[in-house]
Amino acid sequence: MHISDGVLPTYATVGGYVVSAALTAWSARKTRSQDLPKLAVVTAAFFVASLIHVPLGPTSAHLLIPGLTGALLGPPAFLSIGLGLLLQSFLFQFGGLTALGANTLMMGLPAVICGWIFQRYKGRTQKRQAIVGGLVGALGTAMAAIFLALLLGTGGEDFLGMAKLALLAHIPVIIIEGIVSAFTIGFLARVKPDLLRAAFTPASRETDG
């Protein structure tokens, strides 16, 4: 779920831009500069992954994957998500030019937090990685939903009811996201464990050899 133009008060949109810009700069510094073009290509893959719809009873929900992005990319995930949302609003017809900063914050911050948690608690066994991955996947979406509610809350009391409804509506998505993330991380742990090392961060490269 992305916030469209015209919902948030001006201080929230401008503030969202400022904080996002600062975090993007931090995220870019956490990425080795020669890896930036690679990060752009990987962003395209995450973008495509987020377009996948999962059936949910009579309707369907599309995956948000902030948790997975964070787990696989680490701190560069914020930059990656900002780039993805920019693409989305510029080129793929989803609006939200003025809400771009707030939207990036809403998805990017959970990703970075989830990435940190995943790298810290993933352990060594495949099973544990899958379980932590699932928890992180659910947590990422839950945090994104909470940020969404908080951002809507900046619009004043008129939007509080809407914020509560948005939180409720995210509960099934959180569960699905958790299950899919657990399976995906489990799959990667079996097929290509290298990917679970947050490949674009200099620190993790050095320690893991």
Partner 1 sequence: MADIIQYPLWQLPLLILMPLGCIAAMVICLRRLAHRKEIPRGEDPDWSVPSLDDDTGATLLHRWDVRAKIVTLLVYSFAVASLEHLTPSLLAVVLSLTAMAIARVSVVRVLLRLLALSGFLGMLLVVLPFTVPMHSGDTVLLFGGIQWLSFNVRGLLLAVTIAAKAVAIALLMEPLLATAPLPVTLNGLARLGLPEMVGQMVLLSYRYVHVFLHEARRMASGMRVRGFRKRTDLYTLYAVAGFLGMLFVRSFERTERVFDAMRARGYTGRFPEQGEFRLQGRDILLASAWILAGGALIAYDRIIL
Site for partner 1 in 186-205 (CB under 8 A): 186-188, 191-192, 195, 199
Binding status of residue 131 toward partner 1 by CB under 8 A? no
Residues 140-179 that bind partner 1 (CB under 8 A): 157-162, 164-165, 176, 179
Residue number, 88 or 109, with CB nearest to partner 1: 88
CB of 108 to partner 1, least distance (A): 15
Q: Which stretch binds partner 1 (CB under 8 A): 46-54, 108-116, 117-125, 141-149?
A: 46-54
Q: Which of 18, 22, 48, 150 binds partner 1 (CB under 8 A)?
A: 48
Residues 6-35 that bind partner 1 (CB under 8 A): 6-10, 13-14, 28, 33
DSSP letters spanning 127-189? HHHHHHHHHHHHHHHHHHHHHHHHHHHTT-GGGHHHHHHHHHHHHHHHHHHHHHHHHHHHHHH
What is the gyration radius of the CA atoms in the chain, in angstroms? 17
Cα–Cα distance for residue pair 61/50, rounded to 1 Å: 10
CB of 21 to partner 1, least distance (A): 10
Task: Please state whether 91 falls in left (phi above 0), alpha (psi between -120 and 50) or beta.
Answer: alpha
Residue number, 158 or 206, with CB nearest to partner 1: 158
**CB-based contacts of 57-60 (< 8 A; 24+ apart in sequence):** none
Residues 51-110 that bind partner 1 (CB under 8 A): 51-57, 60, 63, 65, 68, 72, 83-84, 86-87, 89-95, 97-99
Axis-axis angle for helices 66-73, 36-49 (nearest 10): 150
Contact 152, 9 (CB under 8 A): no
